[in-house]
Amino acid sequence: MARLFGTDGVRGVANADLTAEMALGLSVAAAHVLGDAGTAGHRPVAVVGRDPRASGEFLEAAVVAGLASSGVDVLRVGVLPTPAVAYLTGALGADLGVMLSASHNPMPDNGIKFIARGGHKLADDIEDRIEAMYRAHASGEPWERPTGAGVGRVREHDEGFDQYVAHLVGVLPNRLDGLKVVIDGAHGAAARVSPEAFSRAGAEVVTIGTSPDGLNINDGIGSTHLEQLKAAVVAHGADLGVAHDGDADRCLAVDAEGNEVDGDQILAVLALGMREAGTLRRNTVVATVMSNLGFKLALEREGIDLVQTAVGDRYVLEEMKAGGYALGGEQSGHVIILDHATTGDGTLTGLMLAARVAATGRSLKDLASVMTRLPQILVNVRDVDKSRVADCRALGEAVAEAERELGSTGRVLLRSSGTEPLVRVMVEAADADQARSVAERLADVVKSELG
């Protein structure tokens, strides 16, 4: 039986894979596991938020019903980023948080992310307990249901927006006065939050992708589609642009000339600033194995240590907590600044990057030049059996041959997506044509052997 929880919650096509019944049942299970629902003398509280997807409306109703029917008091914070729900879960002393979002996925998809006390992501064993309880109930095992005054109460927590924005602005090391910033909200959860935070911090703000209608989230815009942001930055003569994904837990940037600044470059810029400020604990950055080789070489040159993890911001976060590190993230723009957030926070990342530009008086292009990105080709191979990647002998031999060809100037990485039915083939090399040739050759092997 396939596991419901992926690398970032339960995700699927809304009303097909992810139904109202499933959302209700998972929420009841989460209430018992995370909220100690049914424990004498304890009245648990949950914070519930969502991104603007149309399906989030009925899924939110199901989640709220499941929680309240289990004796959990619910604070509905409305459309807010995932990191905002995580922050409010901690700041309000709630027992759990629930975010309805499929992040950068297309509009028909949606997802449920459960957040533990303090605003932290769930460990695998906690997700397994929730799933086991959900499946037991689906098989006919009855729940303990409160009645009368024991049922949960539901109220709007409209103050959440201002609380979160005030937190973001309050942790900045300096203001952004004099900067012009274009913000791409992906027609998603950051559409209101990010422009407001940048404005309160002193920046002149131009916006695109900030008119969500429930159907246009991530549609040709946002961190996975930077073309409009690049054009807007140049057209408005802005100092930089910031792009979010649907739930705003990631951030990519664009410099004044319209060049992309990816998560690796953002991490490098922030690392140098934090070291200068004395806040880069243990002089270390945590990143994944997908980070560009140029990032690793830049940190080595600057005398900063790098710890690498498996792909996924949850693994970065686990390593940061275990090692006592302050900064980590992914090339995709998930950046975790652990002194100020419990998870990747795209708005916070963008603010901190802009603050570094303002403090130094240097352009983003100049700051980002601390590292040189080596050519990196990523090919997504769909409709294959991703579970066989590690055990396929022919594929292993093809990878070994490619590694011999690239030598010390490149590398190969194959991984199964945790959220989509595909295998990712990544090849780095000093020469772009060589990287592309090797990647396409390996992709053909994946198709023929795993298709």
Per-residue pLDDT tens over the stretch 125-134: 999 999 999 9
Q: What confidence category does residue 215 fall into, taking pLDDT thresholds of 50, 70 and 90?
A: very high
- At 142 the pLDDT is 86
Point out the least confidently predicted range of 36-40, 161-165, 273-277, 357-361. 36-40
Kindly tell me the number of DSSP H helices and DSSP E strands found in the chain: 14, 19
Res. 322: pLDDT tops 70: yes
Report how far apart, in Å, the C-alpha atoms of 308 and of each of 34, 295, 311, 379 are.
Answer: 30, 12, 9, 22
Q: How many CB atoms lie within 10 A of CB 330?
A: 25
Is pLDDT at 230 greater than 60 in this prediction? yes
User: What percent of the chain shows pLDDT beyond 70?
Assistant: 98
Q: Are 85 and 157 in contact (CB under 8 A)?
A: no
Find the mean pLDDT for residues 178-198: 98
- Average of per-residue pLDDT values in the chain: 94
pLDDT band at 3 (very low <50, low <70, confident <90, very high): confident
- Strand, helix or coil at 377? strand
Binding-site members for Mg(2+) are 103, 245, 247, 249
Q: Find where tokens 């759990």 sit.
A: 96
The answer, yes or no, to whether residue 179 has pLDDT greater than 70, is yes
Pairing of strands 73-79, 45-50: parallel
Read off the pLDDT band of 419 (50, 70, 90): low
**Residue with tokens 């040709």, as numbered in its chain:** 220
Are the C-beta atoms of residues 203 and 181 closer than 8 Å to each other? yes
Determine how β-strand 10-13 pairs with β-strand 109-116: antiparallel
Q: Where are the alpha helices (DSSP H) in 244-390?
A: 263-277, 293-302, 313-323, 346-360, 364-368
Q: From residue 399, how far is each of 385, 407, 409, 410, 433 by CA, in Å?
A: 17, 12, 15, 12, 18
Binning the chain into helix, strand and coil, the percentages to the nearest 5 are 40, 20, 35
Taking residue 95's Cβ as centre, other Cβ atoms within 10 Å add up to: 21
- Quick check: 58 and 112 in contact, CB under 8 A? no
State residue 411 phi and psi, 5-degree precision. -160, 165
State the average pLDDT over residues 403-421.
Answer: 83
Average pLDDT over every residue of 320-330: 97
Q: At 93, list the tokens.
A: 């002393």
| C-alpha–C-alpha distance, residues 383 and 421, integer Å | 7
pLDDT of 1 strictly over 70 = no
Average pLDDT of span 157-163 = 98
Mean pLDDT of 189-210: 98
Query: How many angstroms separate the CA atoms of 398 and 230, rounded?
Result: 38
Active site residue 103: yes
CA distance 96 to 11: 19
Q: Which two tokens stand for residue 309?
A: 């993890």
Instruction: Walk me through the domains of the chain, giving residue ranges and CATH numbers.
Output: 10-158 (3.40.120.10), 163-368 (3.40.120.10), 376-450 (3.30.310.50)
Options 103, 194, 223, 332, the catalytic residue: 103
Of the pLDDT bands very low, low, confident and very high (cuts 50, 70, 90), residue 40 is low
Alpha helices (runs of H) in 285-326, residue ranges in sequence order: 293-302, 313-323
Lowest mean pLDDT among 338-352, 378-392, 405-419: 405-419
Distance, CA of 317 to CA of 141 (rounded, Å): 35
Among 286, 288, 306, 309, which residue's Cα sits nearest to residue 296? 306
Taking only the tens place, the pLDDT of each residue in 72-130 is 999 999 999 999 999 999 999 999 999 999 999 999 999 999 999 999 999 889 999 99
| Pairing relationship of beta strands 120-121 and 109-116 according to DSSP bridges | antiparallel
Instruction: Determine the Cα–Cα distance for residues 359 and 220; give it in Å rounded to an integer.
Output: 33
Task: Say whether pLDDT at 41 is over 80.
Answer: no
Confidence of residue 295 (pLDDT cuts 50, 70, 90): very high
What pLDDT digit, counting tens, does each position of 379-407 carry?
Answer: 999 988 888 888 889 999 999 999 999 88
pLDDT number for residue 26: 97
